[in-house]
Structure 1
């Protein structure tokens, strides 16, 4: 195949399914998991409570729970449901699992800020994400069973996961960052082709939350000298 042949392809040629098929995946996984996804809802609301605690162990636990969410949404949704109709989803699914392993290692080895980040602002952004973003799939599909829940749907999980940049330190943060950007670009391209305009807000929010995660991270103390 020549370069000219490749240039004749568009994004639409690589997405071999329609928006109805894609949105139906959210319904299917929610039906198959019921009622276990309620546990993900409890965890999503409980994590900002850990943010608000001054205890370092609470923040490490929050990072550990986020690690489980990354792995769960990657293997459950991307590998199990999305990859049969979109082969790059399997790669991203395993990348989500690796991202979860990275966060788990960060929590285990203590690569979490000893200083408290801006907890109230961080908690507000977190709750806005886990309470608002799941309904975008409902707005596109018209079916309340298509809720894109934290820990189940990769988009919502990645968006909230971007805020964890406020908690991890140094090199771990830079290892954690690339997947957030790559997933946002891949997701935005797919949703653009499918014309699921409401869901397109999710990857945009993820990139915005990346900036928020850096902004909310503790500032190094500066000497008066």
Structure 2
């Protein structure tokens, strides 16, 4: 019997890379043309970020809540859990994320999305661009074809990256609770992809590692005109 330190992540993988990406392909084929709906919702989010307001913050929060309910049920619970027993627990975690978005962002209106020209603001916009524009291109670029592309609002990986990016554009303490679930998904998904020797692993792991950095940067006070911390 091999010693425990000789095991690698690949030894604990419950499925092959071919099975995983085939699962994504079947999901894409089953839910099409829902991709067009999520594209429209993404454009609404972009328009809301361009002209932020309290009401638009509720709109963005509501869209994210609906998307996470959809992704948690349609992909994670119904499909991914058939090849990975842990996915069932993650589906409940993502469902909790949707409920928190609805309560904090929609009902209480405590999420005001707005870009600021600082490190966290640039990181947030960069992650959103990565998830929406770059991530769907990875499948064809890596030779898997468009049928296995992972799209924001359809697949959990780009949706989690986009959610982290959007939370970096929010001030206040409420966003910390909303970063937990997407960060945990990025960590778990990144380790899974690493075990499959997939290059996308670095994008998810990098996103997970950026969360404590982003939270710390937002909490660091900036100096106002009179040398006092700005509110």
Whether TM exceeds 0.5 here: the answer is yes
Please tell me whether residue 194 in structure 1 is matched to residue 196 in structure 2: yes
Q: Quote the Cα distance in structure 2 between the aligned partners of 1:62 and 1:163.
A: 13
Deviation at 1:75, TM superposition (A): 1.6
Q: Quote the Cα distance in structure 1 between the aligned partners of 2:49 and 2:218.
A: 12
| 1:159–1:209 contact (8 Å) kept in structure 2 | no
Residue equivalent to 1:184: 186
Q: Quote the Cα distance in structure 2 between the aligned partners of 1:75 and 1:29.
A: 12
Q: Quote the Cα distance in structure 2 between the aligned partners of 1:221 and 1:41.
A: 39
Unaligned runs of 5+ in 1: none
Q: Quote the Cα distance in structure 1 between the aligned partners of 2:90 and 2:75.
A: 10
The 3 A distance-change label for structure 1 pair 171 and 123 is closer
* Larger RCO, structures 1/2 (Cα 8 Å, 6+ apart): 1
* C-alpha distance after superposition, 1:53-107 (max 9, x if no partner): 1322112211221122222212211111111100111111111111111111111
Please tell me whether residue 173 in structure 1 is matched to residue 175 in structure 2: yes
Please tell me whether residue 133 in structure 1 is matched to residue 135 in structure 2: yes
Deviation at 1:145, TM superposition (A): 0.9
SS at match of 2:38: helix
The 3 A distance-change label for structure 1 pair 209 and 66 is farther
Q: Quote the Cα distance in structure 2 between the aligned partners of 1:28 and 1:21.
A: 10
Q: For the aligned residues, what is the CA RMSD?
A: 3.0
SS at match of 1:54: coil
The 3 A distance-change label for structure 1 pair 33 and 161 is same
Among candidates 19, 22, 32, match of residue 20 of structure 2: 22
| 2:54–2:109 contact (8 Å) kept in structure 1 | no
SS at match of 1:138: helix
Unaligned runs of 5+ in 2: none
* C-alpha distance after superposition, 1:19-51 (max 9, x if no partner): 111011111111001112210122123311110
Deviation at 1:167, TM superposition (A): 4.5
> What is the number of equivalent residue pairs in this alignment?
220
Deviation at 1:164, TM superposition (A): 2.2
TM-score between both structures, scaled by the size of structure 2: 0.81
The 3 A distance-change label for structure 1 pair 213 and 147 is farther
The 3 A distance-change label for structure 1 pair 141 and 77 is farther
Residue equivalent to 2:66: 68
Aligned pairs for 1:1-225 (under 5 A) are 10-107=8-105, 108-113=107-112, 116-118=114-116, 121=122, 123=125, 125-197=127-199, 199-207=200-208, 210=211, 211=213, 222=224, 224=226
TM-score between both structures, scaled by the size of structure 1: 0.83
